Chains A and B, each alone.
Chain A
Amino acid sequence: MAADIQAPPLREYPTIPVIVENTMADSKPYMATPAHQESLGYPGELVDNWQDVAVKKLGELVSGSRALQVFLDTCVKCGACTDKCHYYLGTQDPNNMPVARQDLLRKVYRRYYTFAGKHFPKLVGAVDFDEEVRDQWYSYFHQCSQCRRCSVFCPYGIDTAEISMAGREILDVIGVGQKYCNEILGKVHVIGNNLGLPEPALVNTLEGLEEDIKDDTGVDVRVPVDEKNADVLLITPSADFFAEPHIDGLIGYAKVFHQAGISWTLSSYASEAANFSMFIGSKDNLKKVAMRIRDAALDLGVKRIVVGECGHAWRVAYNFWNTLIGPFDFLDPRYPAPQHICEVTYDLIQRGALRLNKEANDHRRITFHDSCNVARASRMGNMPGGQFLIPREIIKACANHFHDMSPETIHENTFCCGGGGGLLTDDLMKLRVRGALPRMEALAQVVQDNDVNTLIAICAICKTQFAKVLPYYKFQMDMITSLHQIVGDAIELDTTH
């Protein structure tokens, strides 16, 4: 924990906080170096004619996306979004109200691309794209986790995530990128994952995991990599190989596949589910990162692609893979392409293919955090709301004690963990701690009412964010648990496979 960062106090009854201007004006992530920028096809540093380049790019983005244009044109300033952003609730900075964040881009759009803004800028709040505005963009578009909670409450469905993605893309093309996202994307292009974990290290780590599972259970459960002709290619965040509690989720996936007798493999070439290109609004990089997965699937000759516990990866996979890297006509048509690991586990539970001992999780009193990209940008299963129901049904099949948090903080109303959208970096810790406030308040309620001691999530970002911020709010760091950890703990393994 950083001593100089304080969590705001938890309130018994969350109310709309009063505005305190500019509390977060100094919050800026480290800038990408020229090497980071250039590896993604962006200029290394601020280009000389940055105003012209930015305005031109804005025009291209607006004319290329009807959605973006509608979002910029239709806001009526009704105010419904103002108290819906966790960053506003946690920081009280009015620029973190979604409408104000949108207006940072909208006022520039108006200046250059609307009749009124071109001729009477002061009347319609239109401004030039100058250095001050550029700095505001860099600060406040990196205070949006693109969680889309505000869009649920907007009567027009204006999606601030799309606007912050456009803002970041424009900043990238003028040479002002963010270090965290861009450095990571460079590693994916070269090595295949966010960590920069090379194949020998991956193999070594997975061999160690197999030994650990054997020591724990006495059963030979495999965690295979690069096995040709396996049925399933598992694409999972590289944090699952590296960090806690993520790695216990990976062990859970391995146990599920083992118990179901499904042959599976990881890929050392496509060893990453995450695709941070979405966070920076880069379609070119989005496709390039995703293409590694298609190439790996074809190379390994698999029949199915399954995605592990990663929130935005599931959005990319569920919504975009088919057009980015499809068609998936080489996969087994009897299964969804792609399929979420929770869908796999849920189907197996429904069919009675897993023997589960709920008592193995009796020491856990569990609540579930809906990750924003799963909750609001995708689905699981073949029913509306499957993305809410399936993880909870898995928990209930594996454990006896489950308590949901308050309804206005779960399902499509879920609050971001505070670290999504490319903000999970130490240089934004103050923002991350404060932005976690609404989720921590909802958690505190079930801890108080139901003695909850376990917070489950199905997203690598959420897991790392909670492991970091829980102690600021006086909770135990190890409350945060992977969903497939409790599945793995409940499974009674067969020794015959």
Chain B
Amino acid sequence: MALDVGGKSVETDEEGYLTNRDDWDEEVAKAIAVAEGLDMSNNHWDVVNFLREYYEEYQIAPAVRVLTKAIGKKLGKDKGNSKYLYELFPYGPAKQACKIAGLPKPTGCV
């Protein structure tokens, strides 16, 4: 499958996750978000940027608990919970936010 980003074709897997992580940039992220029916706010970007930073260091997306704690620190304690993250990313912060961040889908019983 391929995603059209401003006339450029970016390769994705069947579920819309980027095939090559290096293809990611903010325009690609916005295009994936549109395909997911999401309008990227600053708070969405804070989550996406944290996921990318964590992945850079650990080669995996952060556990939900790690993510909620980091977002709580950044955006305030009332937002440091998965309920808030589900408001931002209704299909689940781990999977949907990873997709927009250009990261592989978390696998397993999650």
Query: Interface residues of A toward B: which range?
Result: 35 or more
Which chain A residues (287-319) contact chain B, with CB distance < 8 Å?
Answer: 310
A196 to B98 CA separation, bound complex (whole angstroms): 15
Which chain A residues (187-229) contact chain B, with CB distance < 8 Å?
Answer: 187, 193-198, 200-201, 204-205, 208-209, 212
A468 to B63 CA separation, bound complex (whole angstroms): 17
Which chain A residues (1-58) contact chain B, with CB distance < 8 Å?
Answer: 1-2, 30
For residue A277, CB closer than 8 A to chain B, the reply is no
Which chain A residues (237-273) contact chain B, with CB distance < 8 Å?
Answer: 237-239, 241-244, 246-247
B107 close to A198 (CB less than 8 A) = no
Surface stretch bound by A, among B3-11, B39-47, B88-96: B88-96
For residue A274, CB closer than 8 A to chain B, the reply is yes
* CB-nearest residue of chain A to B59: A198
Question: Which single member of B65, B106, B109 contacts A247 (CB below 8 Å)?
Answer: B65
Residues of A within 8 A of B107 (CB): 180, 183-184, 187, 194-196
A2 close to B91 (CB less than 8 A) = yes
Which chain A residues (395-447) contact chain B, with CB distance < 8 Å?
Answer: 424, 426-427
Query: Interface residues of B toward A: which range?
Result: 20 to 34
What DSSP secondary structure best describes chain A's contact surface? helix
A198 close to B65 (CB less than 8 A) = no
For residue A460, CB closer than 8 A to chain B, the reply is yes
A426 close to B109 (CB less than 8 A) = no
For residue B82, CB closer than 8 A to chain A, the reply is yes
B69 close to A464 (CB less than 8 A) = no
Residues of A within 8 A of B69 (CB): 208, 212
A238 close to B108 (CB less than 8 A) = yes
B14 close to A30 (CB less than 8 A) = yes
A424 to B92 CA separation, bound complex (whole angstroms): 15
The interface of chain A, by Cβ under 8 A from chain B, is 1-2, 30, 180, 183-184, 187, 193-198, 200-201, 204-205, 208-209, 212, 237-239, 241-244, 246-247, 274, 310, 424, 426-427, 460-461, 463-464, 468, 477-478
The interface of chain B, by Cβ under 8 A from chain A, is 14-15, 57-60, 62-66, 69, 82-83, 86, 90-92, 94-95, 106-110
